[in-house]
Amino acid sequence: MTTARRAPRLASPSRTDDTGERGRYFAALTLERPDVALCRATTVIARAVDEQLTGAALTVPQHLVLKMLAAVGACSQQELSEQLRIDRSVMVGCVDGLENAGLVVRERHPRDRRAYAVTMTDAGAEALAEAEAGIAPVMDRVFSALTPEERQTLARLTRKILDVQPPD
């Protein structure tokens, strides 16, 4: 039996030294495909926030859950999942972790006996305050290339894409 010769594998772009050409390609791509630029920017921001929250022993979804509970009070896991756009299966693990850490409690929902209401504890409020203290400097660092006016414009345009009205 003869073995077929395979063509040599293409080198991974990360293993080549031509960063200038790749950088120019990406710059051109962002003009053609703003969705790619937004995804890349989101990744940069998410990594920076995740790195900051690691010090606070929270994940990004856990931080968002605590932030929403602080703002609106007790919620069902389904409400949290829908409002924060976090998959239900991820939300279960998220709330489990928060509950195991004593940052939230699950209690029977007062209006729906089939559901549980997730409520933040005092320890959860402290963890949220600690996490929030570190977020502003991260946002300043990540968005440092933008002026305050550009940041406002970016926020306005993003809300427009998402069809979200600014709070009153």
What's CA 70's distance to the chain center, in Å? 18
Contacts (Cβ under 8 Å, ≥6 apart) of 117: 74, 75, 76, 106, 107, 108, 109, 110
Please give the Cα distance from 60 to 47 (Å, whole number): 10
Q: What is the pLDDT of residue 63?
A: 94
- pTM (2 decimals)? 0.74
Q: Does residue 151 contact residue 143 with C-beta atoms inside 8 Å? A: yes
- List the chain pLDDT tens, one digit each, 168 residues: 555 565 554 555 555 555 678 778 888 888 889 888 898 898 899 899 888 888 778 888 999 999 999 999 999 999 999 999 999 999 999 999 999 999 999 988 777 778 789 999 999 999 999 999 988 899 999 999 999 999 999 999 988 988 878 776
Structure confidence at residue 121 (pLDDT): 97
So what's the architecture of 27-160 in CATH?
A: Orthogonal Bundle (1.10)
